[in-house]
Chain A
Amino acid sequence: MVTTAGDSKATLVAEIQLPEGPRAPFIARRVVRAIITDAPPSRSVDAALLVSEVVTLMYEPNVTLTVRVEEIGRSARVTASSSGSTDAPTDEIVTKLLDRLSDEWGHRGNEVWFDLELVRRQTLSHLSDEELFELVSADRDARDEIFSRYEGWAASVANRYRRGGAHADDVGQAASIALVNAIDRFDPDFGVKFTTYARKTIIGTLKRYLRDTTWSVRVPRSLSDTTVELNRAVAELSQKLGRTPLPAEMAEELGRPIEEVEDAMEAALAYNAKSVDAPFSEDEETSLIRVLGSEDEQFDLADIWHSLEPLISDLEPQEQEVLFLRFFEDMTQSDIAEVVGVSQMQVSRLITRALDTLRARLAPDTA
């Protein structure tokens, strides 16, 4: 850990004076994470942890701390300096983290600095995917290497799910996060290819993302999924037919009942909803909000029920009935027992079994 005095090629990226007070480490982390964006995700996480440690170590009331980020070749150098005096770090946990996570660190005058290589080491590029997945839980470079191999592919999967209103950067970022999750969770023993598994994770994440962020009115999940497919079918068919396709043609193309296609077309309208506060017209004072009633809590349940419908319809008829009575009609187990004509214990078992089945079927998408 010797300080090197003459770092000739250091380029200053940013220098930020932290606000006084105990929020300093928090602000320092935000700054560093915002600056180090090109690095593999695990490196920017490490940089945030280390800067937090160093700033905490140097923190004293009434002392001004500054964080500086420089680029030196393939590394970032992060330096925290104090307007007071700073001793070399001796804290056991902090020095352990600096030793383990940084490539080099040191202390000079009133500063503590550390270096992190931001460019992946190339030594893993000769390994096969299978070999990399063996290493992934122990070696962050293996994880970064897999990430870099599939980054472009993930972006192309994500691109197909982009729609007006969803920002390309956000969709790309959601896809990157999904890819990292897929890498962490994938187990070659699943017996499927990584791309099969990752595609499912990415698409699942994006569908949730699009549903949660870009609809101005929240639409049940199964409906907005259909709308994504619908948009694609409209584009393809329009090209093939040379005109806007009819609902029946779209239903055939998607292999869905026509009612479902019509629901999805309706749902697509929610994508651009009107403000309830806006006056109906320029010379009118009444706005939509004044003529609307309040929201019925049952709407949320109906939404959930509708989202789960495809799964629920696969359950035994009796299980379906019991679930409906319990969660939609809000009946007690003993009331259900009376209506259905079984014991309360059996109702309890039916509910447990139905919920287990639903969880198991949801798991491949959400686990």
Chain B
Amino acid sequence: MGLGPQLVLETTRIGELDVVVATGEIDLASASRVEIALEPFVGQPIVLDLRRVEFMDSAGLKVLLHQRFRIQESGGDLRLVVGNGAVGRLLELTGVSEAFSISDSIE
């Protein structure tokens, strides 16, 4: 097993917020899909929920940094929701957590 879909992305609306929920693993093979999922929200506030992401490496991190830049340039805002799993650890290890607005729940 383990060769099924690596990443599932769902876009939902919670109250006034657009939320992209990611489940699975973000790496070289799947990072571009995160980029595509965030694309419609350039210029808007958007929440990316990464709590159900079991693995992410710098390929995923680079996409997040890139999209955050584009979204902010155009007057939007990218917020991350991160648990204490693999994603939180990566952000902390690489020291890029300061670059994002991060919370541990969608509020």
Contact = CB atoms under 8 A, between A and B. Distances in A.
Contact of A53 (B29, B58, B84, B95): B58
A96 interface: yes
B90 A49 contact: yes
A72 interface: no
Interface string B55-84: 101110110000000000000000000001
Interface string B14-38: 0000000000010111000000000
B59 A29 contact: no
A266 B64 CA distance: 53
A236 B61 CA distance: 56
A66 interface: no
A97 B58 CA distance: 9
Contacts of A97: 58, 93-94
A82 to B, nearest CB: 15
A100 B95 CA distance: 11
Contacts of B96: 93
B84 A184 contact: yes
B95 to A, nearest CB: 7
Nearest to B2: A30
B27, B84, B90, most chain A CB atoms within 10 A: B27
B101 interface: no
20 contacts: A21-B29, A22-B28, A22-B29, A25-B29, A25-B57, A25-B59, A26-B6, A26-B27, A49-B86, A52-B57, A53-B57, A56-B27, A91-B58, A93-B61, A93-B62, A94-B58, A96-B93, A96-B94, A97-B58, A97-B93
Given A49-B86, A56-B27, 10 more contacts: A24-B28, A25-B59, A26-B6, A26-B28, A26-B29, A48-B55, A49-B57, A52-B57, A53-B58, A56-B57
